[in-house]
Amino acid sequence: MSGRLSTFAAAMVVARRDFGAILFSRSFIFFLIGPLFPLLVGTMASGVGQQVEANAGRATLALAMSPADAAAIRSSAHRLEPQLNGMVPELIVVPPMAGGRLPAPAHVLAHSDGAIGAVLSGTPAHPVLTGPEGLIEAWQGPVGLIAADTLRAAPTGFPPVTLTATKAAPVGDRIGRLRTAQAGQTLLFLLTMLLAGMVLSNLVEEKANKIIEILAAAIPMDAVFLGKLFAMLAVSFVGIAVWGATIGSVLLIGGHSLADFSAPAVGWPTFIALGVLYFAMAYLLLGSVFLTIGSMAATVREVQTLSMPVTMLQLLVFFFSSYTMSTPGSALEQAAVIIPFSSPFAMLARAAQSPDLAQHLAALGWQAVWVILFVRFGAQLFRRRVMKSGPATRRSKRANPQPQPA
């Protein structure tokens, strides 16, 4: 004999089944790795491009000087390289022609097949730099320093400079954080839309499998509804973990880090934690709406038709919260914070721009209330609608003989 399940326990039975089924389905694997392909290709292309650009930028400077001067220049360049950090071009010595005469710089450039960027001739006291205008202007400074070092007219090295980083100027800081907020909002929006769509397909599939009546008979419809939402939330966390880890690894390999973005006002760890919480709220709100729609639709086509207005509305909400993000504290921004659907987006933007944490507790509480209301309302509607399309009602209209007295 078994014992009766609580709504939560029943929801977990559904969630566990759905989670496993989705996670190990072929479509989920493709869903998971799908976005990574363009990312990997893009990263590889960008890496190759950067390498090409780096190689192209690090052109060679040919030394068309006497062997003694060329050796002195190379020695100084080698010594100064750590201080000049990449500004010193690669140096090669042009061998003298027959008779010991040095070739003219124009001749060297003409016969280098593009491998030589510029030619340094003359003497360290009177160096002459020949080459394309942009390049020789860029090399003018470093070459001057190297020549000065060769002449010992300047200190043999530069004293090490201790670096102390300070925050950027207020204007730059605000713009940077705005960009971080925008990136966070966009990511949140994309993930929410993607997964709310998945929960919808999952429900339609369930109706097609005709399993819904078994679920409805065994456990409260609220539990079915919650179980499906939880399962997809868990699936989404798997997705976020995989995508996050992959993107993070790619960025790290590429020498990038979160430091490339302006740090959000609440700091990265808190921002990420809030991002996850706001994602959960946004997803639960939207997911409950989509699930309710799913309960009313019998086919994928019907789902698409019914969900289109909601998708459009969600786009509007996203644009609204993006628009109001730049004017924190304004009436519009306050409205975006209060309206349940835009609240997670608006609050994530606030997290990027304001260090106040208390407001997030209040916002999460507010959103949680709406999540509960939406889930309950959605579950009620779901319960009322989902079993309506069964055989009983369909047939009632077809054949309905009246009893006759015995």
Helices (H) and strands (E) in the chain, counts: 15, 4
Residues 6 or more apart from 272 whose CB is under 8 A from it?
none
State the number of binding residues for other proteins (CB under 8 A).
Answer: 42
Q: Between residues 124 and 227, which has the closer beta carbon with respect to other proteins? A: 227
Nearest to residue 287, comparing CAs of 404, 184, 200?
200
Q: How far apart are CA 19 and CA 28, in angstroms?
A: 11
Residue 6: count of CB within 10 angstroms of its CB: 12
Six-digit token string for 188: 């949140």
x-or-dash pattern for other proteins, window 20-59, by CB under 8 A? -x---x----------------------------------
Residue-wise DSSP of 224-240: HHHHHHHHHHHHHHHHH
Residue 9 or residue 151: which is nearer to other proteins going by CB? 9
The stretch among 204-212, 235-243, 260-268, 345-353 that binds other proteins (CB under 8 A) is 204-212
CA distance 219 to 15: 13
State which of residues 212, 235, 346, 363 lies at the interface with other proteins (CB under 8 A).
212
Applying CB under 8 A, does 298 fall inside the site for other proteins?
Answer: no
Query: Cα(first)–Cα(last) distance of the chain, in Å?
Result: 43
Nearest residue (CB) to other proteins, 21 versus 273 = 21
Sheet bearing 90-93, strands edge to edge = 90-93, 60-64, 116-122, 127-130
Which of the ranges 150-158, 175-183, 214-222, 269-277 carries the binding residues for other proteins, by CB under 8 A?
214-222
Q: Is 91 in the site for other proteins (CB under 8 A)?
A: no
Stretch 5-24 residues interacting with other proteins (CB under 8 A): 5, 10, 13-14, 17, 21
Least Å distance, CB 327 to other proteins, is: 48
Q: Taking the C-alpha atoms of 69, 74, 77 and 79 in order, what is their torsion angle to the nearest 10 degrees? A: -110
For residue 391, the minimal CB distance to other proteins (Å) is 6
Which is nearer to other proteins, 96 or 220 (by Cβ)? Answer: 220
Give which of 260, 276, 270 is closest to 344, Cα–Cα.
Answer: 276
Nearer Cβ to other proteins (9/338): 9
In the complex, the smallest distance separating the C-beta of residue 9 from other proteins, rounded to whole angstroms, is: 8
The Cβ of residue 179 has, within 10 Å, a number of other Cβ atoms equal to 13
Q: Which of 233, 260, 258 has the alpha carbon at shortest distance from 15? A: 233
CA triple 100-104-105, angle to 5 deg: 130
153 binds other proteins (CB under 8 A): no
Which one of 2, 55, 162, 166 is in contact with other proteins (CB under 8 A)? 2
Minimum CB distance to other proteins smaller for 20 or for 254: 20
Interacting residue with other proteins among 33, 45, 211, 298 (CB under 8 A): 211
CA distance 281 to 340: 9
Residues 324, 345: Cα–Cα separation, whole Å: 10
Distance CA 139, CA 123 (A): 16
In angstroms, give the least distance from the CB of 15 to other proteins.
12
Picking from 233, 225, 222, 196, the residue whose alpha carbon sits closest to that of residue 310 is 196
Candidates 42, 86, 132, 390; binder of other proteins (CB under 8 A) is: 390
CB of 7 to other proteins, least distance (A): 10
Q: Does 85 bind other proteins (CB under 8 A)?
A: no
Which one, 247 or 387, has the nearer CB to other proteins? Answer: 387
Which x/- pattern, by CB under 8 A, does the window 348-387 give for other proteins? -----------------------------------x---x
The mark string for 220-249 relative to other proteins (x by CB under 8 A, - otherwise) is: x-----------------------------
Among 165, 169, 217, 358, binds other proteins (CB under 8 A): 217
CB of 196 to other proteins, least distance (A): 22
Q: Report residue 398 CA to chain centroid gap.
A: 55
**Residues that bind other proteins in the complex, under the rule CB under 8 A:** 1-5, 10, 13-14, 17, 21, 25, 209-220, 383, 387-388, 390-393, 395-406
